[in-house]
Amino acid sequence: MRAEFHPEAGMGSGGRYGLTRTSVLGLVPLKSEVQASFSLRKKFDLRAVHTLMYVHYGQSSPEIDGLRIPQNGYKSVSAGVIRLQASLKDRLWMYGGGLGISESNETFFSPRPHIWGGAARMHILGLQTQLMYGSILLYNQKLMVVPVFGINKRFNKNWRATAILPFTASVRYNANKWLNMEAISGLNGYSSGFKLAAPATPELERMNRQNYRHVKAGLAVNAHLLSVFNISLEAGVTTFRSLKDIGETGLVLERYRPATAPYVGASLRYLTSRSKLSSKFTRRMGIGDSGLNW
């Protein structure tokens, strides 16, 4: 569970913009298996496969000049599958895909769909360094191909750098087994639909959408409690911010540039799994002991 608060800041066109966000993410192990095969070319292959399902619910409540627009904010719901595959022949791969919807809480019958799928190759360069590269095919109002590059580098017992670009990056310092601190950066935002009506002519009500994004940089403190709980407190600034109101035909009706502003965040993670592979996988992703952007 995660919550973030971004206080109101000025916009280039006048007025002020603020944001409150809450979300819940669940990862559920589905299947772990080991497969052996022998090809016609008399080549032996051993393959290990681990499959996870994720479910995510988010709520975004933007405020413009002290008023929530739309009044009850936006919601998003998504689900998908992540698969980790290791074999003697194909080495290490990660696959994933998912779908979801987003819309304002005042609009229950006009959801905005989003779909993604992708694959990444992983290279293990010794015990201290792992690399990942691949691409994601994404549809959210338009079709996009996003290249992805990741690195996980451990410098010594206490210091580690992790990045999944262009989405998030962090440098972590492990003070001890139950406490770590990290510097975080990430790309984030939301995109959803809402209703817009001319005050004098409500019959002209039309579906529109609001797109927002920012780059954030901050510091987080993560503490393990009772071996299964992780509490994270985070603070920093958001910059390179963009807010657009887009009409039903795709025309940009309003374009804003909210000023750089501070933010604070907190998260609570409950980590338990009978699968040792699943537990190690979630920790490698930074979900178990890190405030990485999710």
Average pLDDT over residues 170-178: 90
143-154 vs 44-64, strand pairing mode: unpaired
CA 130 to chain CA mean position, Å:
21
User: 17-26, 36-45, 61-70: which has the highest mean pLDDT?
Assistant: 17-26
Query: What is the predicted pLDDT for the residue at 292?
Result: 46
Query: What is the predicted pLDDT for the residue at 125?
Result: 82
pLDDT beyond 90 at 6: yes
Query: What is the predicted pLDDT for the residue at 65?
Result: 82
* pLDDT tens readout for residues 253-277: 888 899 999 999 999 988 776 556 5
User: DSSP readout, 19-70?
Assistant: EEEEEEEEEEEEEEEEEEEE-TT--EEEEEEEEEEEEEEEEEEEEETTEESS
Q: What does the mean pLDDT of the chain come to?
A: 84
Per-domain residue ranges of the chain: 2-284
Half-sphere exposure of 54 (CA within 13 A, CB side): 19
Local structure of 173: helix, strand or coil: strand
Closest CA to 21 of 67, 53, 79, 61: 61
Q: Residue 101 in contact with residue 112, Cβ under 8 Å?
A: yes
Q: Residue 40 in contact with residue 59, Cβ under 8 Å?
A: no
Please tell me the pTM assigned to this model: 0.82
* pLDDT tens readout for residues 112-167: 899 999 999 988 887 788 889 999 999 988 899 999 999 989 898 899 999 999 99
Closest CA to 75 of 91, 62, 92, 88: 62
Rounded (10°) CA dihedral 274, 276, 278, 281: 160
pLDDT beyond 50 at 194: yes
Closest CA to 135 of 120, 122, 156, 155: 120
Q: How many residues does the chain have?
A: 294
Query: What is the predicted pLDDT for the residue at 11?
Result: 87
Contacts of 239 (CB under 8 A, 6+ apart): 214, 215, 216, 217, 260
Query: What is the predicted pLDDT for the residue at 207?
Result: 73
